[in-house]
Amino acid sequence: MPPARLRLNDGHSIPQLGLGVWQVPAASTAATVAQALGLGYRLIDGAAIYGNEEGLGAGVRDSDVPRDEIFVTTKVWNDDQGYDATLRAVEASLARLGMERVELCLIHWPVPAKDRYLDTWRALIRLREEGRVRSIGVSNFMGQHLERLVQETGVVPVLNQIELNPRLQQAELRALHDRMGIVTQSWTPLGQGRSFDAAPIQAAAVRTGKTPAQVILRWHVQLGLSVIPRSTRAEGQAENLDLFGWELLPEEMAAIATLDEGSRCGPDPLTFG
Ligand code: NAD
């Protein structure tokens, strides 16, 4: 069963499941992306800082899937924040991708210490008006950053991509997203395997006949989140795609909710950058 799609607040939609390409070697990114598209992925999550945008673009072109069925995300890196720098950075990303336009461009981190995310956002608004990016959003933003962005510019991001996994469930930020009409997208959704052996994950895996990774990814899907696991092997990509057409029980969802301990795998958005 193909991945569902989530509605964005600007009228477009995004596949609920995608492939993340962070740490995929540049030389093999084209093959990894083309393989995923062949298996049924339709969302590819990239970023300028991943250093593999050329491969991502080549993989999209090498696949048999029409370009208009594929959703490509890129992100503006911290050093490129600011109005003019962002305009240049997105043009450079498009050139590396070999694309006229991407479906989504995100501010990668808020970097509060530099305080340039408002001007960065204004540049993304312009790029959207010019048709270089179809939708615009953010990543690693906390409530205060989201609220300031909207207060100052009146433009609500379509999505906030944040670290989210069973050990870091982000309930408060998810509730704010829901109130603001922002899709939550989970990065490091598998949480570096920290919950694979946890009793609620193991129990659901036994009942459903699925793997711990599938149980965790299905948990994201059932919470209504978009999720972008990374796998380079065909078997792993296929495993992570098999999340639709089966369900976790309410009591299994409730048991997984108890695993939250508010601990991050990645950096703190308040100080990073
Ligand atoms: P992930 O949670 O997707 O985990 C990847 C690791 O899990 C890899 O080692 C992979 O081999 C393994 N894995 C994948 N599928 C598995 C399976 N079915 N069973 C067992 N192991 C499996 O972590 P990630 O790559 O850190 O995050 C996913 C994507 O999120 C990234 O590729 C990137 O696109 C995005 N991301 C964004 C940010 C951000 O700041 N916006 C930060 C980190 C990652």
139 C-alpha to ligand 1 centroid (Å): 15
- Atom of ligand 1 at shortest distance to CA of 239? 18
- Using the Cα atoms of residue 75, residue 79, residue 80 and residue 81 in order, give the sign of their dihedral: positive
Q: What is the pLDDT of residue 2?
A: 78
* Separation CA 212–CA 196 (nearest Å): 5
151 C-alpha to ligand 1 centroid (Å): 33
Helix (H, G, I), strand (E, B) or coil at 138: strand
Whether 120 and 94 have beta carbons less than 8 Å apart is answered as no
- Atom of ligand 1 at shortest distance to CA of 265? 26
Residues with beta carbon inside 6 Å of ligand 1?
Answer: 20-22, 45, 108, 139-140, 161, 187-190, 211, 213, 228-231, 236, 239-240, 266
- Atom of ligand 1 at shortest distance to CA of 45? 34
193 C-alpha to ligand 1 centroid (Å): 10
Q: List the residue whose alpha carbon is closest to atom 14 of ligand 1.
A: 231
- pLDDT tens-digit series, residues 219-257: 999 999 999 999 999 999 999 999 999 999 999 999 999
What's the whole-number mean pLDDT along residues 156-162? 99
1 C-alpha to ligand 1 centroid (Å): 22
Q: List the residue whose alpha carbon is closest to atom 24 of ligand 1.
A: 188
What's the whole-number mean pLDDT along residues 5-34? 98
Q: Left if phi > 0, otherwise alpha if psi is -120 to 50, otherwise beta: which for 181? A: left
Enter the tokens of residue 35.
């393989």
Mutate to test the pocket of ligand 1, among 14, 19, 21, 22 (most ligand atoms within 8 A of CB): 22
Q: What is the pLDDT of residue 3?
A: 79
* Separation CA 139–CA 159 (nearest Å): 8
Averaged confidence pLDDT in the chain: 98
- pLDDT tens-digit series, residues 187-196: 999 999 999 9
- Tokens 């959704």 map to which residue? 189
Domain boundaries, the chain: 13-194+224-232
Q: What is the pLDDT of residue 1?
A: 77
Question: Is 0.85 surpassed by the pTM of this model?
Answer: yes
Q: List the residue whose alpha carbon is closest to atom 38 of ligand 1.
A: 187
Q: What is the pLDDT of residue 51?
A: 98
Q: What is the pLDDT of residue 247?
A: 98
- pLDDT tens-digit series, residues 62-103: 999 999 999 999 999 999 999 999 999 999 999 999 999 999
Which CATH code fits 13-194+224-232? 3.20.20.100
Q: Tell whether the model's pLDDT for residue 10 goes beyond 90.
A: yes
Q: Is 50 a catalytic residue?
A: yes
